[in-house]
């Protein structure tokens, strides 16, 4: 679908594409509304307060390093992200069709990535998986800095596809591997909370850094460096104790 959308944007414009996307969303919502789940067989969960949630983070040193790595990973991706479109438009002069072909390569890599990372996580674990995923994702900002034509952006889009699949699977695995006792929900909630806070701060921080002290290219290098910091944090000895699934 991605190349088709690129062609529509180039030839018909967003006034046609956006309504079509909206109708697809309505159709998807309609289909989901027909799904019925029998919750009577689900065991009741003990309700815990937000205070108990943060106690998990306070007392579990392993998870402190993990959520810190997740935060650095997110900053590495989101701080430079606002400047990626300028590379496509101002430096490379790519059409929507050309960008959509890169997007299609990302989608294929994402699909293949689920098979690759599923096999990888079966052999190793989520902690090791995230180390590799974060290292792969560090390619993205550097590719945007070095690209002089559309083809040179291909590694970034392939890395984004593989990385997205890896994050989807490895995040779940890490939560299961690192959670203690019956606190899986708390650990998952903490991870999502950190992701949300990081997502609010990082894009504005990227713009502020460029306005005050950094060039855009330096920001791209900074983004890749943050990914590598996340790799280093995931290699902390306390995280090596994660259960191999």
Listing DSSP states for 176-203 in one string gives HHH--TT-HHHHHHHHHHHHHHHHHHHH
164's tokens: 């997205």
Nearest CA to 152 out of 208, 92, 199 is that of 92
Place of tokens 């005050």: 212
Q: How far is residue 188's CA from residue 237's CA, in Å, rounded to a whole number?
A: 22
Please report the pLDDT score of residue 217 as a whole number.
94
Q: How far is residue 214's CA from residue 91's CA, in Å, rounded to a whole number?
A: 18
115's tokens: 């098979």
Q: From residue 127, how far is each of 17, 133, 219, 233 by CA, in Å?
A: 40, 10, 27, 10
Q: Are 177 and 197 in contact (CB under 8 A)?
A: no
3-state helix, strand, coil in the chain (%, to 5): 80, 0, 20
For the chain, report the end-to-end CA distance as a whole number of angstroms: 36
Please report the pLDDT score of residue 36 as a whole number.
85
Q: Are 124 and 29 in contact (CB under 8 A)?
A: no
Cα 208–Cα 70–Cα 219 angle in degrees, nearest 5: 30
Please report the pLDDT score of residue 209 as a whole number.
93
Please report the pLDDT score of residue 181 as a whole number.
73
Say what the pTM is. Answer: 0.84
Please report the pLDDT score of residue 142 as a whole number.
95
Instruction: Print pLDDT tens along the chain (245 aa).
Output: 888 888 888 898 889 899 999 999 999 999 999 988 877 766 666 666 666 677 777 788 888 899 999 999 999 999 999 999 999 999 999 999 999 999 999 999 999 999 999 999 999 989 999 999 999 999 999 999 999 999 999 999 999 999 999 999 998 888 888 887 777 888 888 888 888 998 999 989 999 999 998 999 999 999 999 999 999 999 988 887 654 44
Q: How far is residue 23's CA from residue 1's CA, in Å, rounded to a whole number?
A: 15
DSSP letter at 81? G
Q: Show Cβ contacts of residue 35 under 8 Å, excluding neighbours closer than 6 positions.
A: none
What is the sign of the dihedral through the CA atoms of 105, 107, 111 and 116? Answer: positive
Please report the pLDDT score of residue 244 as a whole number.
42
């Amino acid at each position: 679908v991605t190349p088709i959308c690129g062609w529509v944007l180039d030839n018909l414009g967003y006034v046609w594409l956006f309504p079509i996307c909206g109708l697809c969303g309505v159709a998807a919502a309609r289909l989901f509304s027909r799904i019925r789940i029998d919750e009577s067989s689900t065991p009741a969960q003990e309700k815990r307060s937000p205070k108990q949630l943060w106690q998990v983070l306070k007392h579990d040193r392993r998870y402190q390093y993990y959520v810190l790595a997740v935060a650095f990973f997110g900053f590495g991706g989101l701080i430079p992200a606002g400047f990626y479109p300028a590379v496509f438009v101002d430096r490379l002069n790519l059409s929507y069709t050309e960008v959509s072909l890169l997007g299609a390569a990302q989608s294929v890599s994402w699909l293949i990535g689920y098979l690759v990372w599923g096999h990888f996580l079966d052999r190793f674990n989520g902690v090791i998986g995230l180390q590799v995923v974060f290292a792969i994702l560090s390619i993205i900002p550097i590719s945007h800095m070095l690209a002089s034509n559309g083809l040179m952006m291909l590694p970034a889009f392939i890395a984004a596809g593989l990385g997205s699949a890896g994050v989807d699977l490895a995040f779940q695995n890490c939560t299961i591997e690192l959670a203690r006792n019956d606190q899986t929900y708390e650990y998952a909630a903490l991870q999502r909370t950190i992701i949300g806070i990081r997502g609010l701060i990082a894009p504005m921080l990227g713009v502020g850094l460029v306005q005050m002290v950094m060039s855009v290219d330096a920001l791209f290098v900074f983004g890749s460096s943050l990914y590598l910091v996340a790799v280093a944090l995931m290699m902390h000895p306390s995280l090596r104790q994660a259960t191999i699934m």
